[in-house]
Amino acid sequence: SRVKEVEFVKSSGRARDCPKDNKPEFAILGRSNVGKSSLINALVRKKEVALTSKKPGKTQLINHFLVNKSWYIVDLPGYGFAKASETARMDWSSFTKGYFMNRDTLVAVLLLIDASVPPQKIDLDCANWLGRNNIPMTFVFTKCDKMKVSKGKRPDENIREFQQLIRQNYKVHPSWIMTSSVTGLGRDELLLHMSQLRNY
Ligand code: GDP
């Protein structure tokens, strides 16, 4: 499960514009500021890679990164901008849903969830939507290195609450991994997990 080589392939505006070479892929999804770019950078250990997707105009696109010439990491637009208009949010959902429903090579969605804050409705909604549509997912909890903020709960407590809320209306239990882009926690576990899913 080593990452030897990473190459930015393309940005696509629609699912049908995505690469057509049938390589397996993992889509990385989460609220803006969840730590998506940091996690992608930590995974591939290259600062410049995920930064590409932060360039103006590229944030609303599906960005494909080819790893070891054999599988893709796909950076999807973040959701839940507090200031986004209703129209912008609708655009996000139809655009991203189009990708999920039409991408046969999708192995699993890595749903990033910030473990330093209590469960957020938008993340629960997203997990439930993916679950209802039978899209395989793994919960990747980010920022697990963060100590509790004043009055807040610890990452492990937030994670337990999130899992409990998911179990209330969702029958299967997705795999989950605790990560930190600061300490490197979970990096190897996540890479191993992805290699197991690819070979499944
Ligand atoms: P994105 O908007 O989801 O791509 O999020 P970024 O990767 O840009 O990270 C958002 C903020 O969270 C930045 O200030 C990061 O430094 C911080 N951050 C990201 N990952 C971690 C982490 O694992 N631990 C801590 N403590 N902070 C993180």
* Consecutive H or E run containing 35: none
Model pLDDT, residue 84: 59
Segment 130-154 mean pLDDT: 88
Q: Tell which residue, 137, 102, 141, has the closest CA to residue 120.
A: 141
User: Is residue 104 included in any domain, yes or no?
Assistant: yes
Number of CB atoms found within 10 A of residue 125's CB: 13
User: Is residue 80 included in any domain, yes or no?
Assistant: yes
The whole-chain average pLDDT of the chain stands at: 86
Q: In what order do the strands lie in the sheet with 71-75?
A: 6-12, 62-67, 71-75, 25-30, 106-114, 137-142, 175-178
User: Is residue 47 included in any domain, yes or no?
Assistant: yes
Report the CATH number that the domain containing residue 157 is assigned in CATH.
3.40.50.300
Question: Is the distance from the beta carbon of residue 181 to the nearest atom of ligand 1 less than 6 Å?
Answer: yes
Question: Is the distance from the beta carbon of residue 34 to the nearest atom of ligand 1 less than 6 Å?
Answer: yes
Q: Tell which residue, 81, 95, 105, has the closest CA to residue 19.
A: 105
Q: Categorize the per-residue pLDDT at 85 as very low, low, confident or very high, splitting at 50, 70 and 90.
A: low
Model pLDDT, residue 167: 87
Question: Is the distance from the beta carbon of residue 62 to the nearest atom of ligand 1 less than 6 Å?
Answer: no
Q: Whose CA is nearest to atom 17 of ligand 1?
A: 35
**Distance, CA of 20 to CA of 32 (rounded, Å):** 28
Number of structural domains found in the chain? 1
User: Is residue 1 included in any domain, yes or no?
Assistant: no
Model pLDDT, residue 29: 94
Question: 85: domain range?
Answer: 6-198
